[in-house]
Amino acid sequence: MAKRSFGRSVAVTACWIWALYPYFVYIPGGFVWDTCLSALLVATLFLCALKLREKPGSLWSWLGFGLLGGFTVLTNASALTVCSVLAAWAIFPLWRISRTPQMWPTSVLLRDHWRWLSPALLVAAGLIITLLPWQFRNYRAFHALVPLRDNFWLEFWDGNDGDTTSWVDIDSHPTINPDEGALFAKLGEIPYMREKRRKALDFLALHPGLYLVQCVRRFLYVWTGYWNLDPSNLLDEFHGFANVYLTSSLTLAMLLGLWRSLRNSGSLLREASPASREAVLPYLLVLLIYPLIFYITHPTIRHRHVIDPEIVVLAALGLRSLFPASSSSKSPGVPPTATPS
């Protein structure tokens, strides 16, 4: 992924960061959830999007992208936004060609329109094929329409119930709090989630200002690891000063990589001026879109790990720009996007 976007030297640097960064050693052994698998699937989806953007390939490739995206979403529902954005980014050059005025016969123009529409439909078909059985299962189990998962309002309430001492009030979760667990068992899953929705919306109506402040704090927490200086948080290994240092350092290196690429002022990228900004765009889209759901609910370090591969690539780009190689070993950058014939 890094090699295709920015060259071998950035790829090697990214590998070393991934091998030595403490959290990337701890997280695989510290969580039993989908964390590492989701990161792998999103990175694979990202690489496929890079390849399809550069060379659209056969229609089967687009169907495969949709199937992979569906499996990724089944593994981690929050990855749906990433899948959609990457698919749109990969298809965009085909759409742009179809919108360019051409003095061609109508049959040729129709063929060009179909050239972008067929990949879009195949990606959508792959997603539907993969996700539809789970939707049938949900309807059969709950006798209600439940898109993917039904716990959004529970997670929203856990992060926005008025307790600001931590980034999430874990004690209000039914798997932790016996009273909440008993209420969950008494009401049933769907009525329980509806009750959480009611309480969350009531809180929003009464405290809109506090909610906006919390969203800003969650944004800062995702990218710095800092929440507050409360001793109960600092005792947690993920929320001490070491966490703030590690998370902030990686974020700063990532921002440097973004800045160097967008400004195109680093000597590492000087030979790839048309392509460097194009290469960084999918990374920027993922970084902007994926965390949105956690800004409005509640974030954790393991949630960010899903996009850590993309963060590490940009961090490696930033570090390489500080120590550029000699002109003979510079990475050539990314070739301009291939125009399909």
pLDDT in tens, 75-90: 999 999 999 999 999 9
pLDDT for the residue numbered 251: 95
The pLDDT assigned to 330 comes to 42
The confidence score (pLDDT) of residue 82 equals 95
pLDDT-derived band at 277 (thresholds 50, 70, 90) equals confident
Q: What is the pLDDT of residue 93?
A: 86
Give the per-residue pLDDT at 273. Answer: 42
Highest mean pLDDT among 195-199, 223-227, 237-241, 269-273: 195-199
User: How is residue 208 written in tokens?
Assistant: 């809109």
- Looking at residue 239, what is its pLDDT? 59
pLDDT at 127: 94
| Size (the chain), residues | 341
List of residues 6+ apart from 204 with CB closer than 8 A: 160, 211
Report residue 260 as tokens. 């160097």
pLDDT of residue 238: 61
Q: What is the pLDDT, as a whole number, of residue 108? A: 46
Q: Give the chain's end-to-end CA distance (angstroms, integer).
A: 25
- The amino acid occupying position 198 is R
Phi, psi of 267 (to 5 degrees): -65, -25
The two tokens of residue 183 are 């209420």
Say which residues have a Cβ less than 8 Å from residue 256's Cβ, sequence separation at least 6. 315, 318, 319, 321, 322
* Residue 149 CA to its chain's centroid (Å): 18
pLDDT tens, residue by residue, 306-339: 999 999 999 999 998 887 764 334 444 444 444 4
Rounded Cα distance, 293 and 309, in Å: 19
Mean pLDDT in residue range 168-197 = 90
Share of the chain above pLDDT 90, in %: 52
Average pLDDT over residues 287-302: 92
> 315, 257 in Cβ contact below 8 A?
yes
Q: Write the pLDDT tens digit of every residue in 230-263.
A: 776 666 656 567 788 889 999 999 999 998 888 7
The confidence score (pLDDT) of residue 12 equals: 94
313 or 145, greater pLDDT? 313
Nearest to 130 by CA among 116, 148, 143: 148
Residue among 126, 48, 128 at smallest CA distance from 86: 48
DSSP letter, residue 326? P
pLDDT for position 26: 83
Q: What is the mean pLDDT of residues 12-37?
A: 88
> What would the DSSP string read from start to end of 277-309?
HHHHHHHHHHHHHTTHHHHHS---HHHHGGGHH
Q: Which residue has the higher pLDDT, 95 or 203?
A: 203
Instruction: State the Cα–Cα distance between residues 161 and 169, nearest whole angstrom.
Output: 8
Does pLDDT of 194 surpass 70? yes
Half-sphere exposure of 194 (CA within 13 A, CB side): 8
DSSP tag of 335: P
Average pLDDT in the 280-286 region? 93
Identify the residue whose tokens are 């974030």.
Answer: 299
φ, ψ of residue 312 in degrees (nearest 5): -65, -40
Contact present, 284 and 258 (Cβ < 8 Å): yes
pLDDT at position 11, please? 93
Is residue 40 scored above 80 in pLDDT?
yes
The pair of three-digit structure tokens given for residue 151, joined into one six-digit string: 């716990």
pTM, entire model: 0.85
pLDDT, average across residues 91-118: 66
Greatest mean pLDDT among 104-118, 195-209, 258-272, 314-328: 195-209
Using CA atoms, how far apart are residues 262 and 316, in angstroms rounded to an integer?
Answer: 15
